[in-house]
Amino acid sequence: MMEGMRERNIPLGDEIGRRARVLDSEMSAFERMKIKKSTIYRLAAASLVYAGSMALMAAFL
């Protein structure tokens, strides 16, 4: 049963990969830079929130 499910998922994965490659080729360098920049900002914000919560827990303990 699992083998049949894997066989059905392979064409779907190929189709998703093909569409992703087409979208990536159509994306401009500026759009790529914006996505990378927003990802970096999200990671920085998440790490600051994590560090702040750890500091608060340390202060209360």
Q: Give per-residue pLDDT as tens, 1-47.
A: 455 555 555 666 677 777 777 777 777 778 878 888 999 999 999 99
Domain boundaries, the chain: 2-60
Residues 6+ apart with CB under 8 A from 25: none
Predicted TM-score of the model (pTM): 0.51
Beta strands in the chain (DSSP E): none
Phi–psi pair at 25, nearest 5 degrees: -70, -30
Q: Is the dihedral of CA 38, 40, 25, 6 positive or negative?
A: negative
